[in-house]
Every structure is written in structure tokens, then in C-alpha cells.
Amino acid sequence: MSEHFPALQVLLPVLTAPLCLLLRHPTLVRVLSLAVTVGCLGISLALMEQAREVGTVVYEFGNWPRPLGIEYAVDTTNAFVLVIVSMIAAVVLPIGCRNSQVPEGREYLFYSAFLLCFGGLLGVAITGDVFNIFVFLEISSLATYILIAMGRDRRAIMAAYSYLIVGTIGATFLLIGIGLLYQMTGTLNIADLAVRLEDVKETRTVIVAFAFAMVGISIKLAVLPLHHWLPNAYTHAPPVVSAFLSATATKVAYYLMLRFIYTILGAGFVFDVLQFDVILTPLSLAAMFIGSLAAIYQTDFKRLLAYSSIAQIGYMTLGLSLNSELGAAAGIVHLFNHALMKGGLFLVAGCVLLRVGSTAIVDMRGLGSRMPLTASALVIAGLGMIGVPGTVGFVSKWALVSAALDQQAWQITVLILLSSLLALVYVWRLIEVMYLTEAPEGAERREAPPLYLIPTWILVLASVYFGFNTESTLGVARAAAHQLLGGAG
């Protein structure tokens, strides 16, 4: 059984999705999808264990050996991503599709879309075949467009449309890149590609392939100038979807970038020959500042979170652009940490939306007394965004700063700390509104239901717990980075 875990990891949600369409019974579907996500979480944890033990777990479909067949290959890095994705899914899914346009009795559509999206993301992370990456990316993206369009506001539809156009361009660019790589090597298997590319690396075709693939992934990752699909999508999607996507979709894209740069093309080629960091570093820094500044001036809580995500993605790509093991580890650990914090914050937004009926910041006045548990969850997760010691945010910042210092990049260190101050500003704005202004008259004092609060607090408490227990996050991230950069697995 356990040797089939890699296949089950993806097949379980992908096959359950159509089953949900057939079953239609709301409770049944809900329980089923919940069971599937929890099962996937268990599988991913088991895979993580296996990967830490044997280095890389390889699963060959139909026993066709590499490079003929499609294989799934799980090493520490993608095991970590699998854990992130399935953990967040298992935590947020119980909330379901409240606060969305889904009419009663048709919740099964939400669940099947969610499971497809979930399975697609897992597939992207787990597969060892580049074309398979494209297919799973599109599966998850198509489901994502549907999920976003389920938002309450009509702007959700337009947001989904924009994301569809932009996302398709991204995926197609990636497809072009993959095609060109295939043209040069005749293989689609990642491990095989890496070997065969050695001889033809410096050809123009490979360079063009790299450029297309990077731009394609950057769109999915929302690297600065290509990020404009993100704020609207996250703002108008149902809160659970925002929480899930912000915590997983961009993370998987980041994983892809790592995989392309480190495993397929090689860091030496990407950074020394192509000088990718010349573009990536300024874009990351710009994202950190523009994202945070834009967050400061937003009037809507969810949109504020979306812009802050752009800034946080800047931190991740900055870690990558440092081109070192420490930098990659900082990026990987921030995947996890940001997933916890931002997932928690979007769920807080869900609580607010449920009780207040809007996520406009002015409507959150006096939330500290109206919804004390929700407000305090926001504060704790917000402290994490700033990077206060004792939260996961601090772990990320610490990892990133020490990576920057390791490269003697003083100016970058200073900029990281400065941008943290900007985070302080927008978090403080929220605290001020919630605690230091009085509630509007007639506002009801009603805490969000446990269904919302429990997942929210699980993420928030986890963000504190992992602020202290760094071994299972930073330790794993360092091991993953070590393995990625070619150290002994």
C-alpha cells in the first residue's frame, strides 16, 4: 500500500472530484472530500518521512522505466510542498463554501472544483515529468477560475476572467519552454532532462526555453510586474478559496521555479551564465516595497492581504535570487510559514465577512470587542507578518537575513528590515481600527461560529508553535535546499 502513496496522493482527490458530481448529496460530498483531504495529508506526511529516509521516492506508472514512462519523484523539497498544500486544504475545507454565490443544494460543485484544484496542485508538485506539470497546472488552474468566480461580488467573475487570460498565457509560455527543451533533448523526464541538457545548455533554444518557462512560472507566482491578476482574484474569491489559494497556489509555482532552476537547468547556468538574478533581485525588492506600500493604502482588508502576499512573494524570490543554499532554504521555509500566516489571515477575513458583511477596513472598527477571538487571531498572525520573534514570520526573516548576510549583501539586509517596517504600518493600521476605535453604532457583538474559528486558530496557533519549533520547518527546508543544490540527499 505505502509504495503506491505517490500515485494515491494525486489520484485520490482527482478521482473523488467526478464522484462528487455524481453523488450530489451535500453532506455526503462534504464528508467525502474532507476524508480525502485528510487522507492526502496523511499520505503527504508519510511521503515526507520516506523521502527523508531514502532521498528520493520514485514511482513509475505502469512500471515503465525512466525516461519512457511517467514517473513521480518525491524528494524533500516537493514532499514539503505536498505537506503544505494538503495541510492547508485539510484545515480550510471544513468551512466549505459559505459566503459564496453557490446556491443551496449545489455545494457539490464547489467540492469537486476544490478537489480538482487540490489534486492539480499536488500533481504539479509530485510529478517528475515536465509535460505532466503543464497538465496538472491547467487542471488546478481551471478549477481555480471556477472557484474564484464563486465569490459573492460580481467583480469575482471579472477577476476570474482576468486570471483565466493571464494564467493561460503563463501556462502556455511554460508549455513553449517545455516544448523547446524537449526539442533539444527528446525527453520529458526531469531527471533525464537534467542529464541530457548538460551537452546542449548553451544553445539559443535552451536559453529561449528558459526565458519562456521562467516568465510562465513568474505569472503563476505573481512576481512583481506580472502580479496584477492576484489582488482582484484573492479579494473577490470566497474566503476559503482565498485562504487556500494564497497558501498553496503561489507556493506550488515557487516550487516549480526552484525545480526548473536548480534541478533542470542548474544554478550555475541560470545565475552565472544567464544572470537571472540581475532581473529577479530588483523585481523581488520592488515587490517587497510596492506590495507593502500598496497594502498600507488599501481600504479593504482582503485586498490589503492580497498586496501583502505580493510583498511576501518578493521575500521568497529574493531568497531564490541570492543563489545560495541558505537563500533557497529561506525561500522554502517561507513557503510554509507564509502559508500558515496568510491562510490564517484570509480565514479571519472570512470570519469578518460572515459577521460584519463586508471586509472594508472601516467596517472593522471596534472588532476587538465585537469579535475578540477573531481580532486576536488577526493580531497574532499580523505580528507574524511583521516578523516579531516567537512567530513563524521571524523564522523566515531570520533565515532570509542570515542568507543575505552570508552573501555579504548588507544593502539587501537593510532593505528587508525596512520593508518589515512597512508591514508594521499596515498591521498597526488594522490593530488601531480594531482596538482603538469604537464600534459603529448598532453593530452587533457576535463572535464567528466555531466552524470558522477553529480552522483559523489552528493556523494561527501553528504560526506561533512553529515560531518556536524551528526544527521541523527550517531544518527540513535546509535539508531540502541542500538536496536541491546537489548535495547528497
Strands 71-74 and 57-60 turn out to be antiparallel
* Binding span for other proteins by CB under 8 A among 17-25, 72-80, 139-147, 243-251: 139-147
List binders of other proteins among 228-257 (CB under 8 A): 228-229, 231-232
Q: Is 307 in the site for other proteins (CB under 8 A)?
A: yes
Whether the CB-CB separation of 121 and 140 falls below 8 Å is answered with: yes
C-alpha cell at 213: 518557462
Pick from 360, 373, 424, 431 the residue near other proteins by CB under 8 A. 360
Nearest residue (CB) to other proteins, 175 versus 341: 175
Amino acid letter, 205: T
Residue 131, all three cell numbers: 509535460
Nearer to other proteins, 13 or 170 (CB): 170
Nearer to other proteins, 92 or 477 (CB): 477
# of chain residues touching other proteins (CB under 8 A): 77
- Across the strands, what pairs with 57? 74
Taking the complex as a whole, how short is the minimal distance between the CB of residue 163 and other proteins, in angstroms? 9
Q: Which of residues 437-456 bind other proteins (CB under 8 A)?
A: 437-438, 440
DSSP H helical segments within 186-300, as ranges? 190-200, 204-221, 230-236, 239-258, 267, 276-297
Residue with Cβ nearer other proteins (41 or 102): 102
Q: Is 390 left (phi over 0), alpha (psi -120 to 50) or beta?
A: left
- The amino acid present at 190, given as its one-letter code, is I
Q: Between 67 and 106, how does the x/- string for binding to other proteins read (CB under 8 A)?
A: ----------------------------------------
Q: How far is the CB of 47 from other proteins (least distance, A)?
A: 25
DSSP classification of residue 264: I
Min dist. Cβ of residue 188 to other proteins (A): 8
405 binds other proteins (CB under 8 A): no
Instruction: Identify the DSSP state of 61.
Output: G
Quick count: other Cβ atoms within 10 Å of Cβ 445?
Answer: 12
CB closer to other proteins, 37 vs 232: 232
The window from 5-13, 79-87, 178-186, 345-353 that contacts other proteins (CB under 8 A) reads 178-186
Stretch that binds other proteins, among 17-25, 51-59, 83-91, 151-159 (CB under 8 A): 151-159
| Binding status of residue 211 toward other proteins by CB under 8 A | yes
At residue 220, φ and ψ (nearest 5 deg) are -65, -30
**Using an 8 Å Cβ cutoff, are 92 and 240 in contact?**
yes
Q: Looking at 154, 199, 445, 486, which residue binds other proteins (CB under 8 A)?
A: 154
Establish if 420 lies at the interface with other proteins (CB under 8 A): no
The yes or no reply on residue 476 touching other proteins (CB under 8 A) is no
CA 95 to chain centre: 19
Alpha helices in 57-106 (DSSP H): 76-92
User: Which segments of 34-188 are extended strands (E)?
Assistant: 57-60, 71-74
Residues 6+ apart with CB under 8 A from 61: 7, 69, 70, 71, 72
424 near other proteins (CB under 8 A): no
Among 298, 308, 312, 323, binds other proteins (CB under 8 A): 298
Of 61, 182, 435, 465, which lies in the binding site for other proteins, with binding defined by CB under 8 A?
182
Question: What is d(CA 53, CA 396) in angstroms, rounded to the nearest whole number?
Answer: 25
